[in-house]
Amino acid sequence: MESQLKVFWRYFKKNRLAVGGMALILVTFFVAASASLLAPYDPGKTDVSTKLKPPSLEHYLGTDQLGRDVFSRMLFGSRVSLSVGFVAVSISICIGILVGAIAGYYGRWIDSVLMRFVDIMLCFPSFFLILTVVALLGPSLFKVMVVIGITSWMGTSRFVRAEFLSLRERDFTQAAKALGVKDSRIIFRHILPNALAPVFVTATLDVATAILVEAGLSFLGFGVQPPAPSWGNILTEGRTYIFDAWWLTVFPGLAILITVLSFNLLGEGLRDALDPRLRGRR
């Protein structure tokens, strides 16, 4: 009898796009973790004598308007993007699981109240809500991560609630209740492990969304503040020179595109491999 992990991997590896996306994500992680070793220059070091130099063997991705090496800034910017993505999604997943688990397990008026609150939250355009909160609180990396996390948990809560509504009627749940097991233990030890499959898929896709939101906020000046590098603020600084220094917008734009696409491909692959109804299509 094959283990669940082997069954998952057997179906997942058939999706070459998903495997490719996972490989690119692993490379991005390695680059972010090794940025201080891979970067040929200090990302904050300025040298106006070399400003706006095109890509060359000396500066692989060229230099910006202050003479800073774009390649080095891109490497350190990957840390910001991945940090925002994973911290923000961790916050949203925790909130979403808690709300969805309580609503799905207890049902009745508790479910109605929590789901109406979710509906209210979904009525607000997420990006503009995040932009408003960050503008009021002031831009910083920590605030961006927290605000993205606390405004993007609604989808997770709905997935978890749907799983709990089904799993709470199963025999193992009813047996645990009959034995007098506490609700908290039933929720977190018995039901939740069986409801995590869609959460993994949602989390992967949400990381991509969080990276895009951070890039958008930084591009508008409400995200990571200079001189700290991020892909979004490198794009912002380059838009003034878009016709004279194309590399300032092309390379960070490609980095955002490839990273977000990789997470989306991985999420689609996870969904297909974890859902038995979709396995037969591969």
- The pLDDT value recorded for residue 177 is 82
Kindly report the pTM of this predicted structure.
Answer: 0.83
Q: Is 61 among the domain residues?
A: no
* pLDDT tens-digit series, residues 98-128: 999 999 888 888 889 999 999 888 887 777 8
Q: Is 230 among the domain residues?
A: yes
Q: Is 55 among the domain residues?
A: no
Q: Is 49 among the domain residues?
A: no
Tokens of 39: 């970067």
Q: Total structural domains in the chain?
A: 1
CB burial readout 245-268, b (16+ within 10 A) else e: bebbbbbbeebbeebbebbbbbbb
Cβ atoms of residues 218 and 266 within 8 Å: no
Least confident span in 21-35, 147-161, 264-278: 264-278
Q: How far is CA 194 from the centre of its chain?
A: 23
pLDDT averaged over every residue in the chain: 84
> The domain containing residue 172 runs over which residues?
9-39+67-279
- The pLDDT value recorded for residue 277 is 55
Q: Is 52 among the domain residues?
A: no
Tell me the mean pLDDT in the region 10-27.
Answer: 87
CA dihedral 78, 140, 208, 43 (to 10 degrees): -10
* pLDDT tens-digit series, residues 228-239: 888 888 888 888
> Is pLDDT larger for residue 219 or for residue 153?
153
Tokens of 230: 């991020």
Percent of the chain whose predicted confidence (pLDDT) is above 70: 96
Q: Is 121 among the domain residues?
A: yes
Give the H/E segment covering residue 28.
helix 16-33
Q: Is 53 among the domain residues?
A: no
CATH number at residue 165: 1.10.3720.10
Nearest-10 crossing angle of helices 70-106, 141-150: 30
- The pLDDT value recorded for residue 236 is 83
> Is pLDDT larger for residue 73 or for residue 4?
73
Q: Is 217 among the domain residues?
A: yes
Q: How far is CA 205 from the centre of its chain?
A: 6
By CB neighbour count within 10 A (0-12 exposed, 13-18 middle, 19+ buried), where does 140 fall? middle
State whether residue 63 is helix, strand or coil: strand
